[in-house]
Amino acid sequence: MTRFVLASASPARREVLRSAGIDPIVRVSDVDEDAVAAALPDGTPPDVIVVELAKAKAAAVAVTILDLSADHVVVGCDSMLLVDGELQGKPHTAEVARARWGEMAGRSADLVTGHCVLRYRNGELTAEAVDCSSTTVHFAKPEPDELDAYLATGEPLQVAGAFTLDGLGGWFVDRIEGDPSSVIGIGLPLLRRLLGDVGVSVTQLWGHPAS
């Protein structure tokens, strides 16, 4: 039996997988995302940046669970919002989140998510697959009191781009062009292909409880 390990603390990613029939084993990478991004050469394309972050997360978790089972996949993801050519991660503070909403309200931006799948058998890395998905998000323009209330919830402070699609932030998204699961943080169509690239069918993973 192939086990599925999600290298992420994101409850949204976990719920996307559970809704799609996979109950992942969750391990948090604790990777310093800023340090990984800063170590990349100047001018590194946005899609490469998020893929490198996803790879770092998957690799950090993988070295801690090699005795988990004879056959398992480790999946890492990283999402950032591309606004006017600049990648935006988690704002962490209400002030930064407010400034970002000032830039993107009433406009569109691309949510890019890097994915990395590592397959291990008997403690050995046997296959790796990586790629990036991109979905265009068209934002509404919240009224000042609505934005104040949204920031006060704390939700936008710890999510890429200072918004969610599946939470309170969904009220302020007019529409998207692309894969909604990718906006939430883990793109099912892309992940299905990457799993296939390492020799795992998603149907093999359905219904197996985490442990």
Contact 58, 73 (CB under 8 A): no
23 is catalytic: no
* Distance in angstroms (rounded) separating the CA atoms of residues 166 and 158: 14
| Annotated catalytic residue within 23, 67, 78, 166 | 78
Task: Give phi and psi for 192, each to the nearest 5.
Answer: -60, -45
Structure tokens at 1: 């039996």
CA distances from 146 to 102, 141, 143, 168, 172 (A): 13, 9, 5, 11, 9
Contact 75, 116 (CB under 8 A): yes
* Distance in angstroms (rounded) separating the CA atoms of residues 32 and 52: 12
Q: Smallest Cα–Cα separation from 81: which of 46, 29, 37?
A: 46
Structure tokens at 188: 């099912």
Residues known to be catalytic: 78
